[in-house]
Homo-oligomer: A and B are copies of this chain.
Amino acid sequence: MRGRTDLAVEMKEDIKGDEPITGVHLMTKNHGDTDVKETRIIVENEEGALKLGKPVGTYITLESEHFREQDEGIHAPMMEVLCKEIRQLIGNKKKIMVAGLGNREVTPDALGPFVIDNLYVTRHLLKEGIIRESVELSAIAPGVMAQTGMESLTVLKALVDSIKPELLIVIDALAARESDRLNKTIQIADTGITPGSGVGNHRNAINKESIGVPVIAIGVPTVIAVPTIVNDAMDVMVNALGKQATKNVLKKFNDEERYQLACEMVTPYLENMFVTPKDIDEAVKRISYTISEAINKAVLA
């Protein structure tokens, strides 16, 4: 591991670069004449899961150079591709709940709640007979534990047990390893999500096992964990120092040991800090809008 990441595509790169792994399939394609590039990683079995460090399932990564730009017109192709993927995962399910995880008050973590703000929920309109034929959509932004005293999993489990949707879609901000992937990438996983996993907190996965219905996770990397940066800096440093002796020392560490070293270097920052771009407000606003539009279109049309 070269630095903590929530992206299956980065975990794959970490292990073997472009080489194949038993039990893990990787496919890439471009979407028509758009600049949206899709990487599909399928973890076939427990052997693959163990190697990749991600549960058995499918991880779709959509990436677009233009997705970071300010012009919203450019986001249309990404929205269309995302919509198509969501539609396929929904299939013919008729009752869906969307959960926007994260803290509305911390900009890079506000992605989930902002998506909820722009959804066209229909559950109450169906119940009241105002509309008749539609997928039943409900939505919740459960807040974070420091605000509610409750795990997101606890809140969502209670609501799913009561509302009984056939599918839960969770939206969350992720941590990436490469700064180049921030705000440019959307990951869709049919395996659910572990909130906060990108920043060092592995409890309480939200998945079919814990929730009782299938869980699709849509995530966007908006932060980088602090040790990642130091880890990245190490190679540069060693080269800059230019001493063969030092290089040899670093070579004795394996990846896990090097990451451990990076963690130790940044002990005071490690647990409680994150790195994020200065224009994160614009990015989160635009991307959350793209995701809510994709869900609205996938569900209603």
Contact = CB atoms under 8 A, between A and B. Distances in A.
Interface of A: prevailing SS:
helix
Contacts of A262: 233
A265 B246 CA distance: 16
A147 interface: yes
Given A103-B281, A124-B145, A265 B161 contact: no
A265 B233 contact: yes
Interface in A238-274: 240-243, 245-246, 249-250, 261-262, 264-266, 268-269, 272-274
A67 to B, nearest CB: 16
A159 interface: yes
Contacts of A4: none
Contact of A121 (B124, B149, B224): B149
Given A106-B107, A158-B158, A234-B237, 5 more contacts: A106-B280, A124-B145, A124-B149, A237-B237, A274-B276
15 contacts: A105-B117, A106-B280, A121-B146, A121-B148, A121-B149, A123-B149, A124-B146, A140-B155, A157-B162, A158-B159, A158-B163, A180-B268, A236-B264, A242-B249, A245-B245
How many copies, total?
A: 4
A229 B269 contact: yes
Interface string A257-301: 000011011101100111111111110010000000000000000
Contacts of A83: none
A229 B273 CA distance: 11
Contacts of A137: 149
Contacts of A79: none
Contacts of A242: 249
Contact of A148 (B125, B139, B265, B282): B139
Interface of A: 70-71, 103, 105-107, 116-117, 120-125, 136-143, 145-151, 154-155, 157-159, 161-163, 179-180, 199, 224, 226, 229-230, 232-234, 236-237, 240-243, 245-246, 249-250, 261-262, 264-266, 268-269, 272-282, 285
